[in-house]
Amino acid sequence: MASITIRNLSKTYGGVADAPAVRDVNIAVPDGTFLTLLGPSGCGKTTTLRLIAGYITPDSGEIRVGERQVSSPAAVVPPEQRGMGMVFQNYAIWPHKTVFENVAFGLKLRRDANVQKKVAQSLEQVGLSGYENRFPNELSGGQQQRVALARSLVVEPEILLLDEPLSNLDAKLREHMRSELKDLQRRTGITFVYVTHDQAEALALSDQIVVMHRGEVQQVGTPFEVYERPANRLVADFMGLMNSFQGQIEPEGNGLARLQLPDGTRFDVVAPPGLTAPQGAELVVRPENITLSAQAVDALGLKGVVTAQTFLGNLMELTVKLSFGPEVRVQSHPLTKFNVGDAVGLQLNLASASVFLKA
């Protein structure tokens, strides 16, 4: 079984005065899953991946692969004995070796009897059959990254760890390689643990996303869950553009609550956990979940004026200044009928909104 279980994992580089790079991390990676560690630079993604690979020793906690403990403060199974492959951002392929030699290297180290057949198979898996005799400088960036993938796959790992493997590729190639990676993971059934700071990449690729911030796990969920049901404001903010409305909330019973904005507009919302008495709250709505109309929905509906318009090809982004001051971003079809200066009503899709209590 190539499931991974991470329990209470912590790691601090340097002295006790330093903030932990990873703090009390708990993650379960089921066998055959594509799991992504996502978060801003410095949040501890690479440290977590290195701990899984066995390059560093945790200060506390443990990592298991199946039932087997592979890391604890007392003992770390070396990387080469973990049945894991690793793919790095900078490919790390040898410039003076051919594609064949690069891919065959790990097998030769093991004195494998089927080098020719296995190299041919893994080159086919990544779509590089026929490139055996080329040198890396005769390949595109995407092809070089595929050589790195083939080299990891050829030793038949149960788990593949990938650290920002697409970030050196141009936008179009990155998107193409995304779908190839996803397809490869499905075909092989290998457990993938993937590190990226790119939320669109994480949404497109993953079965499960772990959102990290300052060394701590903020949320673990499917792409839909972390985007549509963010556990807190940090996750909401990191997963995409958002508009924030400050207001007052009070419980109404039956799991519902009433939220009031400064202009008197009121909304019935699902009560956020922990709401017991009236208090300050924040309503978070993504730009694609606001619809504009020529008039407010009713006398108390949100109203504003369009102050800017940006054509983004597949959509139009409008800035609307609300009657009580704040500006919001709204995304609509590029052929929207609204122009700068127009008075508009705003309808929020509350089913896709989130409410967070103020601290």
Which stretch in 38-46, 99-107, 143-151, 217-225 sits in contact with ligand ATP by CB under 6 A?
38-46
In angstroms, what is the minimal distance from the CB of 153 to ligand ATP?
24
Does residue 136 bind ligand ATP (CB under 6 A)?
no
Convert residues 3-22 into a mask of x (bound to ligand ATP by CB under 6 A) and - (unbound). Answer: ----------xx------x-
Does residue 43 bind ligand ATP (CB under 6 A)?
yes
Which stretch in 28-36, 37-45, 165-173, 349-357 sits in contact with ligand ATP by CB under 6 A?
37-45
In angstroms, what is the minimal distance from the CB of 21 to ligand ATP?
3
Which stretch in 41-49, 222-230, 273-281, 314-322 sits in contact with ligand ATP by CB under 6 A?
41-49
Does residue 24 bind ligand ATP (CB under 6 A)?
no
Within 241-300, the residues that bind ligand ATP by CB under 6 A are none
- The single residue among 2, 44, 54, 275 that binds ligand ATP, judged by CB under 6 A, is 44
User: Within a 10 A sphere around the Cβ of 345, how many other Cβ atoms?
Assistant: 17
Give helix 171-188 / helix 115-125 axis angle, nearest 10°. Answer: 120
Q: Three-state SS for 201? A: helix
Q: Three-state SS for 117? A: helix
Q: Three-state SS for 252? A: strand
Measured distance CA(270)–CA(267) in Å, rounded? 10
Measured distance CA(174)–CA(160) in Å, rounded? 19
22-29: strand order across its sheet: 22-29, 4-11, 60-65, 68-71
Measured from the CB atom, is 197 or 258 closer to ligand ATP? 197
- The single residue among 41, 81, 314, 339 that binds ligand ATP, judged by CB under 6 A, is 41
Within 189-208, the residues that bind ligand ATP by CB under 6 A are 197
Measured distance CA(281)–CA(262) in Å, rounded? 12
Residue length of the chain: 359
Which stretch in 43-51, 279-287, 291-299, 309-317 sits in contact with ligand ATP by CB under 6 A?
43-51
Residue written as token pair 């007052």:
248
Does residue 354 bind ligand ATP (CB under 6 A)?
no
Of 36, 266, 66, the residue nearest 166 (C-alpha): 36
In angstroms, what is the minimal distance from the CB of 41 to ligand ATP?
3
Measured distance CA(92)–CA(88) in Å, rounded? 7
- The single residue among 42, 66, 251, 272 that binds ligand ATP, judged by CB under 6 A, is 42
Does residue 47 bind ligand ATP (CB under 6 A)?
yes
Does residue 23 bind ligand ATP (CB under 6 A)?
no
Contacts of 211 (CB under 8 A, 6+ apart): 38, 39, 217, 218, 219, 220, 226, 234, 235, 238, 239
Helix (H), strand (E) at residue 50: helix 45-53
Burial 86-114 (b: 16+ CB within 10 A, else e): bbebebebeeeebbbbbbbbbbeeeebee
In angstroms, what is the minimal distance from the CB of 215 to ligand ATP?
7
Measured from the CB atom, is 45 or 303 closer to ligand ATP? 45
Measured from the CB atom, is 41 or 276 closer to ligand ATP? 41
- The single residue among 46, 199, 218, 289 that binds ligand ATP, judged by CB under 6 A, is 46
Does residue 45 bind ligand ATP (CB under 6 A)?
yes
Does residue 216 bind ligand ATP (CB under 6 A)?
no
Measured distance CA(100)–CA(115) in Å, rounded? 10
The residue count for binding ligand ATP (CB under 6 A) is 12
Q: Three-state SS for 266? A: strand
Would you tell me which residues interact with ligand ATP (CB under 6 A)? 13-14, 21, 39, 41-47, 197
